[in-house]
């Protein structure tokens, strides 16, 4: 009985080592700087909702990125890198959060700081300093002074596809203006609420002065990406959060194996 237990332990140990090693290879493939991994989080909290990655898992994920030598970049750097204006660092990763939940400040920020990682948070300005579950303007300013970039997630988080044009424009423009007024710098990137978008919405965003927009389309950003349909890899809470994290980082390979093409 003891022997079987020991063998089982060795098998589990080896397969864990194997999956870690494989993921490190995947990260190494991103190392030429032409593939950019964009992670998408919502909440970092010990809650049962699928949007909330448990705090210890988030810590382990950030430690994995830091230990793997990933360098966190900003949306501006991603844009300049894809345009050939700058050379991206090896293993570029853009860590993003949607919605601006308070736990981004209380739970995620100290962990990012601990590992020296930067991140970008897409904010719904009509919720800011209004609802207790969302951050305040003071907190956003403190984050920005410490390596976190704030960008727009529209004014009120509607499904843009269901709105008439003038309301789409209001959502995109008023959120941009309000954030610029409060934070004192240009807001040029957008994350579509619920990830839904189409070419028409992308065109309006471009007209209003946005340089790029992020979706929840799975994949890794590269030179074939559309600036207004940038791919992200969503990380959710599940019974196997860490396994999913490693697998999702490795998904790029599977996309290409199945002949997946960028649009
Ligand atoms: Zn959202």
Q: List the CATH number of the domain containing 212.
A: 3.20.20.370
Give the tens place of pLDDT for each residue, 79-135: 999 999 999 998 999 999 999 999 999 999 999 999 999 999 999 999 999 999 999
263 within a domain of the structure (yes/no) = no
Question: How many domains in the chain?
Answer: 1
pLDDT, position 22: 52
Under 8 Å between Cβ of 119 and 72: yes
41 versus 11: which is more confidently predicted?
A: 41
Please give the distance, rounded to the nearest whole angstrom, from the Cα atom of residue 233 to the centre of ligand 1: 14
158 within a domain of the structure (yes/no) = yes
Please give the distance, rounded to the nearest whole angstrom, from the Cα atom of residue 170 to the centre of ligand 1: 17
Please give the distance, rounded to the nearest whole angstrom, from the Cα atom of residue 100 to the centre of ligand 1: 9
What is the token pair recorded at 237?
């809470």
Average pLDDT, the chain: 88
Please give the distance, rounded to the nearest whole angstrom, from the Cα atom of residue 125 to the centre of ligand 1: 12
Rounded to an integer, the average pLDDT of 188-204 is 95
Please give the distance, rounded to the nearest whole angstrom, from the Cα atom of residue 99 to the centre of ligand 1: 5
Please give the distance, rounded to the nearest whole angstrom, from the Cα atom of residue 9 to the centre of ligand 1: 41
Please give the distance, rounded to the nearest whole angstrom, from the Cα atom of residue 192 to the centre of ligand 1: 7
What is the token pair recorded at 32?
């030429």
Q: 41-47 contacts: CB < 8 A, separation 24 or more?
A: 41/95, 41/96, 41/97, 41/98, 41/108, 41/235, 42/97, 42/98, 42/99, 42/101, 43/99, 43/101, 43/103, 43/104, 44/103, 44/104, 44/107, 44/108, 44/111, 45/101, 45/103, 45/107, 47/237
Please give the distance, rounded to the nearest whole angstrom, from the Cα atom of residue 101 to the centre of ligand 1: 10
pLDDT, position 255: 44
pLDDT, position 59: 98
Give the tens place of pLDDT for each residue, 126-184: 999 999 999 999 999 999 999 999 999 999 999 999 999 999 999 999 999 999 999 99
133 within a domain of the structure (yes/no) = yes
pLDDT, position 195: 86
Query: Which residues form the domain of 251?
Result: 2-257
145 within a domain of the structure (yes/no) = yes
225 within a domain of the structure (yes/no) = yes
pLDDT, position 32: 53
Residue 91 to residue 115: CA distance in whole angstroms: 16
16 within a domain of the structure (yes/no) = yes
Please give the distance, rounded to the nearest whole angstrom, from the Cα atom of residue 123 to the centre of ligand 1: 8
262 within a domain of the structure (yes/no) = no
């Amino acid at each position: 009985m003891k022997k079987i237990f020991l063998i089982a332990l060795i098998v589990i140990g080896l397969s864990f080592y194997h999956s870690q090693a494989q993921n490190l290879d995947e990260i190494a493939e991103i190392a030429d700087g032409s593939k950019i991994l964009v992670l998408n989080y919502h909440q970092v909290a010990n809650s049962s909702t699928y949007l909330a990655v448990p705090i210890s898992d988030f810590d382990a994920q950030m430690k994995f990125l830091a230990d793997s030598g990933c360098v966190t970049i900003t949306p501006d750097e991603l844009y300049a890198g894809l345009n050939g204006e700058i050379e991206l660092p090896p293993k570029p990763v853009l860590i993003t959060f949607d919605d601006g939940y308070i736990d981004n400040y209380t739970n995620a920020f100290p962990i990012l700081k601990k590992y020296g990682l930067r991140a970008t948070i897409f904010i719904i300005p009509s919720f800011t300093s209004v609802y207790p579950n969302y951050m305040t303007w003071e907190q956003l300013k403190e984050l920005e002074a410490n390596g976190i970039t704030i960008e727009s997630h529209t004014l009120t988080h509607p499904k843009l596809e269901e709105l008439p044009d003038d309301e789409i424009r209001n959502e995109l423009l008023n959120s941009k203006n309000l954030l610029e007024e409060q934070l004192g710098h240009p807001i040029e990137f957008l994350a579509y609420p619920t990830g839904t978008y189409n070419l028409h919405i992308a065109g309006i965003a471009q007209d209003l002065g946005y340089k790029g927009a992020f979706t929840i389309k799975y994949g890794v950003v590269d030179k074939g990406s559309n600036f207004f349909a940038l791919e992200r890899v969503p990380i959710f809470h599940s019974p196997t959060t860490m396994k999913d994290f490693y697998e999702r980082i490795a998904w790029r390979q599977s996309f290409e194996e199945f002949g997946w093409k960028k649009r």
